[in-house]
């Protein structure tokens, strides 16, 4: 693998190579996801080696994980599910443009009637010959407005028990029958979308996994999502406390009570960072475990408290704000009121990607082994 890395960096020196070309080459050499099969961006190697690749490439100035963030969902969550539940013909079609960012992906799970409760989905896919006809509505979809493809979870067997009647499909977001409408959030920005399907036709060749196996596909994605959000927010969380400290140093009127809050949060941020390093260690060496749920829970709370403190430090200036005009996140122009925006936006950290309540259920049940809620009678 060291040889491959050397070839990559020699043939396409990051400093002088177009980013897309570099990523294509990285994929072709099997260095995109080393644990994937050969020919599909991987080497069939141990997952733990991916950390080494990441470190070497980052040091060499190659496009870092930050670059992947344009397609974070695709690279971090959907690709592993495609490899686990799809087949080679599908990998050949989708993985390379996914990795290079040529095709952005989104995840089409949540519905108005089913937020945290994915087993309650009602979007229908009905078979007609070699195709499926999809009707229904998805909501809270990140990046749908710029995605080329989406991983859809739809109900194919309404008679089967809740979890069993779901099937996963890859849909072309540009196809007729797909309509994307932006959804504004608390700060006026439109990070999320609604997606409407009207008689969308999906070839059966784009089904992922067997009929009725959509729940397993979703689980793979959700487990990866938590690790990914855990990892992602780790940096953001660190960013939050750093912002607070920077603000503290610029604040004229300070007192011991605020100082104690700040130190308390600093300790929490540091402990979360250390905890996350342990989680990352496990992620690199094993299949994704429940550590991501701890990180997600901790960072959601931490960020909310840190930005609360920031506003209190700002005092009356905390009442000011920039613009609530609607815009997509990629068009956001920072202003002098970013901390206020983050204060507002942090409320979503305990909701999106599995609410804090769901995270606590997961920790209680999957880590501590406590009994589940009984299903209601009848």
Instruction: Establish if 161 lies at the interface with its own copies (CB under 8 A).
Output: no
Residue identified by tokens 């009929």 is 211
- The Cα 147–Cα 207 span in angstroms is 18
Residue 372 contacts which entry, another protein, its own copies, none (Cβ below 5-8 A, type-dependent): another protein
Indicate the SS3 state at residue 195. strand
Distance between CA atoms of 235 and 302, rounded to whole angstroms?
A: 12
Q: Does 350 bind another protein (CB under 8 A)?
A: yes
Distance CA 106, CA 47 (A): 24
Residue 291 appears among annotated catalytic residues: no
The one catalytic residue among 24, 103, 111, 225: 225
Q: Which residue, 36 or 140, has its beta carbon nearer to another protein?
A: 140
Q: Between 196 and 321, name the residue whose CB sits nearer to another protein.
A: 321
**What DSSP string describes 85-109?**
HS-HHHHHHHHHHHHHTSS-EEEE-
Q: Which two tokens stand for residue 2?
A: 């060291």
Question: Judged by CB under 8 A, does residue 257 bind its own copies?
Answer: yes
Q: How far apart are CA 153 and CA 137, in angstroms?
A: 11
According to CB under 8 A, which one of 19, 28, 157, 260 is a site residue for its own copies? 260
- Residue window 81-120: x/- pattern of binding to another protein, with contact defined by CB under 8 A: -----------------------------x--xxxxx-xx
- Single out the residue of 203, 233, 210 nearest to residue 302, CA to CA: 233
Q: Is 369 exposed, middle or buried (0-12, 13-18, 19+ CB in 10 A)?
A: exposed
CB of 41 to another protein, least distance (A): 26
- With CB under 5 to 8 Å by kind, the binding choice for 363 among its own copies, another protein, none is another protein
User: 212 near 168, Cβ under 8 Å?
Assistant: no
Q: Number of residues interacting with another protein: please give it, by CB under 8 A.
A: 86
From the CB of 96, what's the least distance to another protein, in Å?
Answer: 31
| Choice between 17 and 122, CB closer to another protein | 122
Residue 96 token pair:
């390379």
Q: Is 192 in the site for another protein (CB under 8 A)?
A: yes
Task: Please select the residue that binds its own copies; options are 255, 325, 333, 334, rule is CB under 8 A.
Answer: 255
Q: Which residues bind its own copies (CB under 8 A)?
A: 255-257, 260, 374-378
């Amino acid at each position: 693998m060291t040889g491959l890395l050397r070839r990559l960096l020699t043939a396409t020196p990051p400093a002088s190579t177009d980013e897309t070309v570099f990523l294509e080459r990285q994929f072709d050499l099997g260095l995109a996801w080393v644990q994937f099969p050969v020919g599909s961006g991987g080497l069939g190697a141990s997952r733990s080696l991916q950390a080494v690749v990441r470190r070497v490439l980052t040091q060499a100035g190659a496009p870092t994980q930050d670059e992947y963030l344009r397609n974070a969902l695709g690279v971090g969550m959907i690709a592993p599910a495609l490899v686990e539940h799809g087949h080679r013909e599908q990998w050949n079609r989708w993985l390379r443009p996914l990795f290079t960012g040529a095709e952005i992906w989104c995840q089409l799970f949540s519905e108005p009637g089913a937020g945290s409760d994915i087993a309650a989905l009602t979007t229908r896919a009905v078979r007609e010959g070699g195709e499926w006809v999809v009707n229904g509505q998805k909501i809270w979809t990140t990046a749908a407005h710029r995605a080329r493809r989406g991983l859809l979870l739809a109900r194919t067997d309404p008679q089967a028990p809740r979890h069993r009647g779901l099937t996963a499909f890859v849909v072309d977001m540009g196809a007729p029958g797909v309509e994307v409408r932006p959804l504004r959030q608390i700060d006026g920005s439109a990070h999320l979308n609604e997606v409407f399907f009207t008689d969308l036709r999906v070839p059966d060749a784009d089904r992922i996994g067997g009929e009725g196996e959509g729940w397993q596909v979703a689980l793979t994605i959700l487990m990866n999502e938590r690790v990914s959000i855990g990892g992602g927010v780790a940096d953001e969380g660190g960013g939050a406390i750093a912002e607070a400290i920077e603000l503290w140093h610029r604040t004229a009127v300070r007192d011991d009570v605020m100082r104690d809050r700040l130190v308390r949060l600093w300790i929490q941020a540091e402990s979360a960072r250390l905890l996350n390093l342990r989680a990352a260690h496990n992620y690199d060496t094993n299949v994704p475990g429940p550590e991501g749920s701890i990180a997600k829970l901790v960072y959601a709370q931490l960020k909310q408290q840190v930005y609360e403190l920031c506003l209190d430090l700002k005092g009356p200036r905390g009442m000011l704000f920039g613009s609530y005009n609607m815009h997509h996140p990629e068009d956001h122009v920072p202003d002098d009121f970013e901390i206020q925006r983050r204060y507002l936006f942090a409320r979503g950290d305990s909701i999106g990607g599995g609410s804090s309540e769901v995270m606590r259920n997961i920790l209680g049940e999957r880590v501590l082994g406590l009994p589940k809620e009984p299903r209601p009678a009848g």
